[in-house]
A and B are shown apart, each in its own frame.
Chain A
Amino acid sequence: MNTKWVGKRVKRIDGPEKVTGELKYMTDYHFDNMVWGKVLRSEYPHAKINSIDIEPAKNLPGVICVLTHKDIPGFNGFGIVVPDQPVLCSDVVRCTGDAVALVAAETLEIAEQALSLIKVDYEPLEVVADAEYALTDSAPKLHPDGNLHSHVKIKNGNMEKAFEEADIIVENTYYSPRQMHAFIETEGGWGVMDDEGFLTIRCPGQYAYRDRMQIARSLAYNPERIRVISSPIGGAFGGKDEITVQIYLALLALHTNGRPVKIHLSREESVIAGIKRHPFKVQMKTAAKKDGTLLANQVKAIGDTGAYASLGGAVIALAIEHSCGPYKIPNVDLEGFCVYTNNGIAGAFRGFGVNQVCMGIETHMDMIAEKLGIDPIELRKKNVYHQGEVSSVGHIVKSSAGTFKTLETAENCDLWKNRAKYKSEVSEPWKKRGVSVATSFHGIGMGIGLPDYGAASIELLPDGTFLVGVGCEEIGGGNSTAYAQIAAEMLNCDISNISIVQGDTHRTLDSGTVTASRSTYTGGRAVAAAAPRMTELLIQTAAEMLNLDSSQIALRPNHISAHGEIIPYKSIYKYLHDHHQTTRVEGHFYLPKEKEEIKGSGGAPHHLYGYLTHVVMVEVDTLTGETEVLRVVSIPDAGKVINPQGLEGQTEGGAVMGIGYTLYEDILIENGYHKTRNFTDYIIPTIRETPLIETFPVEEPEQSGPFGAKGIGEVVMIPIIAAIMSAIYDATGARIRHLPATPERVFNALKDLKKQKVQSTR
C-alpha cells in the first residue's frame, strides 16, 4: 500500500518538549497554595494493629490533616481484579509497603515530622517470607481464603506415554528476580477539590477511567464529579497500572479546604511501596524425539505475588499460557500458583509472567538441540506453529504468526552467520565469547473474560486542524505519534495538523489500558474507525456549503476541493459552528476474541500474539565472572510497522531492560524487609552496558489491526533473557539458572565447572 505517514520514520511528536525538558510531568507542578501529602508506611512486614494515635501529629504546627482508615467514606480497598489491598490498614499490616495513615502539611518536612509523631501500636506476627512455605499448613494465613491466590492448570494429551516414548528429556529448575520498573518519575501527583465539590486528580497512570472508578469506590463519590488526568508519564512499564497514590490524593483533597495537595514518593519509598515483577520458581521437564520433534512439556510455576493480589492471578495465567513457547507440543501439563507472602507487592510489569517462563523453555530448546546435534534455529523452525496450526495450549492460531520468518531472518543475519569469527575476536586471553538465539511471543490485549475495547475521538478545531483524543496514555512508548500518523494518513493531511490528547477522563473516551501490548493496536484501530467519520463530516459539510452532491467533493491534502474551488477546513469549522453542529466524531472498536476459553487457564488463549527472535553475543570475563552483552539483533514480528523509528525505540529499550533483568537487577527482601533500598544497590544498565542493537522487523500483516499492525511493547524484552543465558553457556560451558547472572553467580558456576572437570578426570 502506498502511504504517506504510516510505515515511515516519523519523528516523535512529543520528542522536542521531552528532550528539551520543556514538558512538565505531573510531579513537576508547584502551586503557591499547595500543601504536601505523605503516607505513613508499616513498620513491620506482618503485624496486628492494636491502636493508632494521631493526636500528637495533628497538634504539630503546620499540619493540616491526619487521616486513618476511619476517614475513608467508602470502600477501604483497591486492586484491579480483587480489591484486597486496604487503602489505609485498620487491623493488620501485611507488608512494609502498607499504608497506615496520611498527612497533609504546609511543607514536606513538617509532613515527614508528623509521620514520626503518629503512634501505631503493633503486635508483630510471623512473617511469610517464601512462596513455597506460604503453601504449607504451618504458614499463617495472610488472607481469609489462605495464601493461594490463584491456581491455573492446562492439560493436553497423554504425558506418561509421551515421556515413555521420548528419546530425550531435559529437566531443570529456574529462579527469576524481583525486578523493579525503575521509571524515572516515581509515583506521585496532586489532587484538588473545587468549591463545588469537583475533584481533579492529576496522577500518572495506565488507565485513567479505571483509576477514577477505584477512587470513586473508596470515596463513595459520583465518578462523574471526578476528573483523572493520567498522561504524560515519566515511565511506567506496568508499574503504574495499579492504583499508586490516586486514592491518597483524593482523600487528602477532601480535607485541605480546596488547596491542591501533592504527593511524590521518594525513590526509597517507591522501592518499598511500588509493585514489582513476580519472582518465580519454574520447574520444567521437556521431552523430544531423536529428530527434534517436541513431544511433551511439564511446567510447575510458583509466583510470589507478595501481600496483595493486584494483577498476580493474571500474571500467572499469562505465564502458563506462554510457558511452552510459540511451539506445537502435543502433550502438556502446565500448572501455575500465585501465592501471597509478606514480600512487598508484585503486579504488572512488561512481559507479565512470560519473561519468567521463557528462560525455561528456550534453555531447554538449546539443551535438546545440543544433545541431538541439531542447529538450534533448525530445531525451533521444526517446532514452531504457523498461522492456522494448533498451539501447545491446544487452540488453533487464527491470527498472523511470524516466528518462522523471524527465525529465518536470524539465520541469515551477520552476527549468526559469522558467529565463529566474532567469537574468536576476544580482546584478552581470559575472556570468552558466546552467541545464542532465543524466540518468544506475547499475547496482545486482554484474555478471555475481560471486555476489551478501544475508542477515539477526532475534533475539527477552529484553525482547521484536528484534535485526536485517545484514552490510552502516552507512557513513553510512542503511541501518540502512531495515532497521529494513522490520523494524518486517513485524513489526508500533514501530521503537523494533528494534535493528540490522551489520558484524561474529561477529554478522552474510555479506550482501556496502556498495558498488554495493546495500545498501538487498539487505540490505532479506534482512530482508524473515527477517521472515515471525520472525512464524511468534512465532505458532507462542504457539499452542504456548496450546494453540491457529496460525490462531487474530493478530499485533498489539508483541504477540500470541488469544482475548482478550495475550501479550507477553517471554513468548514466556521460553518459547522455557526450552524450549531458538532465538529467531533467518535470511533469505537471491539478487540477480536477467541470464543472458547481453555479449561482451567484463567483466560487463555489470546486471539493475537506478537513474536520476536533475539540473537546476542556476550563476552564473559572468566577471571571475575562479569558478562558483557556486546551485540543484540532484535527481530520482531509486529505485523505492519507503523513507525520504524518507534519500533526501534521499543526494541532497543526492551533489549536493555532484558539485559538488566538477566545480569543485574533484583530487589532483595529478607524476612519481609527490603535489603535493596535505592539505585545505589539496585543496578540497572547504563549507556556503558548498552551494546549495539540492530532491529530487523519481519512484517506479517494482521488483518484486524490498523494498517495490519500488532503489538510489540512487551516481547521486545523477553527472548533476550534466555539468549543471554545460553550465550554465557556457549562462551564458558556454565549454565546459570538463577537470575540475575551476577558476576558472583557466573564466577561460582565456572568454579563448579572446574571442580567437576577435576573430578571427572580422576
Chain B
Amino acid sequence: MLVSEIDMITPSSLSECLMLLSKKGRIHRVIAGGTDATVRMKEGKWRPEVWINIKNLNELRYIEESDDCIHIGPLTTHTDIIHSPILQRKADVLVDAAREVGATQMQNMGTIGGNIGTASPAGDTLPALYVLGARLELTSMSNKRTLPIEEFIFGPGRTVLKENEMITKIIIKPQSPNEIGIFQKLGPRKAQSISIVNVAISLTMEQDLKCREGKIAFGSVAPTIIRARKCESMLPLGQLNDELIRNIAKIAWKEVMPITDGRATATYRRDMASALLERGLYRLMRRWNNQ
C-alpha cells in the first residue's frame, strides 16, 4: 500500500465513527494525534486502506469528576492532562507522567487513548494509570464493556481491542488527600526520549511517616507494565525512612524481567528498577515530610 493511496475519513461524531469501525471490507485504522501512527506509516508498518481520523472528535476530549471517579476522554492530550486542576490535585502521578512524554510538541498532539492503544512497554502514562487503578470503557456499535487496564494490554502493542471497538473512556480512582504519587523516568537524556526504565508510585500515608499501602508499577522492564507486588507489600512494614526505602528498592530487581536492546542492557535495566524506586520513594518521603 502506498501512502498516497491511503484514504482518510473524518467522522463528525462518535456514533458515525463507531459505524465506520463496524464496516467490513476495507482495512481501517484509527488515528488520533498521530505521534505513533505517522511514524509507523512512514516505516511501512501501518498502511491501512483507510485512516479513520478522530482527532477532532471533541466529545471524547474531557476530564470530569463524578461518582467518586475521574473520567478522562481518550482524546485528551498530554498537555490537557498537565494543565488539568482536577488531575493536578487528585492524580498527580498521571500529571507527572504526562510531563515526561516526548517533548512539548508530542504532548500537544499525543492523546492518552493513543498511548494506551499503542500499548508500548515503554509508554509513559501507562504505569501511572496502573497505580491509579484505571479502567477502560470500550465501545462498539452494539456493545459497551469496561475492564481494568491490566486486562486490556497483554503484550507489546497487543490489546484486547476488537476491530469494531474503540476506547471511549478512561476511569480512574481519585487520590485521597493523604495519597501522593510520583513518576520517575530514566531515558538516554532528559527531553524527547524513550524510557529505559520508568516507574509510577502512589502511596497512602498515615501518621508518623508510615505508609498504609502503596502501588508501584514499572515500565520498560517486561513485555507489559508490571506491578511490583513484593515491594508494595513491604511498604507498610515500618516508618518510611532511608533504610526501609533502600531495602524495598533492593527487592525491585527481582520483580522485573527486562531485555537488552539498543538503549540499555538487561542488567542495567534491572539495576535501574531499584535505583528509580529508591529515588522515587525518597522524593515522596521528602515531599510528605515538607507538607
Contact = CB atoms under 8 A, between A and B. Distances in A.
A744 B264 contact: yes
Interface string B154-193: 0000000000000000000000000000000010111111
A675 B268 CA distance: 19
Contact of B262 (A107, A664, A668): A668
Contact of B189 (A107, A113, A686): A686
B189 A685 contact: yes
A742 B190 contact: no
A680 B40 CA distance: 13
B190 A624 contact: no
Contacts of B126: none
Interface stretch (B15-23, B131-139, B141-149, B274-282): B274-282
A428 interface: yes
Given A675-B262, A681-B262, A688-B189, 11 more contacts: A109-B3, A428-B279, A621-B279, A681-B263, A685-B189, A686-B191, A688-B190, A743-B268, A744-B264, A744-B265, A751-B271
Contacts, number: 57
A691 B163 CA distance: 48
A687 B268 CA distance: 26
A207 B263 CA distance: 37
A676 B188 CA distance: 14
A664 B186 CA distance: 14
Contacts of A113: 2
A623 B188 contact: no
* Secondary structure class of chain A's binding surface, majority of residues: loop
A686 B192 contact: yes
Which residue of B2, B189, B275 has the most chain A CB atoms within 10 A of its CB atom?
Answer: B189
Interface of A: 107, 109, 113, 428, 430, 621, 623-624, 626, 664, 668, 675-676, 680-681, 683, 685-689, 742-744, 747-748, 751
Interface in B247-291: 262-265, 268, 271-272, 275-276, 278-279, 282-283
A428 B281 CA distance: 13
Given A109-B3, A744-B268, A686 B262 contact: no
A743 B191 contact: no
A624 B103 contact: no
A430 B190 CA distance: 18
A751 B275 CA distance: 13
Contact of B275 (A624, A676, A688): A624
7 smallest CB-CB distances across A and B, nearest first, come from: A623-B275, A688-B190, A688-B191, A744-B268, A683-B188, A686-B191, A624-B275
B184 to A, nearest CB: 9
Contacts of A624: 186, 272, 275-276, 279
Contacts of B278: 623
A681 B187 CA distance: 11
Interface of B: 2-4, 103, 186, 188-194, 196, 262-265, 268, 271-272, 275-276, 278-279, 282-283
B279 A623 contact: yes
Contact of A664 (B3, B4, B188, B276): B188
Nearest to B278: A623
A79 B192 CA distance: 36
Contacts of B196: 743
Contact of B268 (A109, A623, A683, A747): A747
A686 B190 contact: yes
A686 B189 CA distance: 8
27 contacts: A107-B4, A109-B4, A113-B2, A428-B279, A428-B283, A430-B279, A621-B279, A623-B276, A623-B279, A624-B186, A626-B186, A664-B188, A668-B262, A676-B262, A683-B188, A683-B189, A685-B189, A686-B189, A686-B191, A687-B191, A688-B191, A689-B189, A689-B190, A689-B191, A743-B196, A744-B264, A751-B271
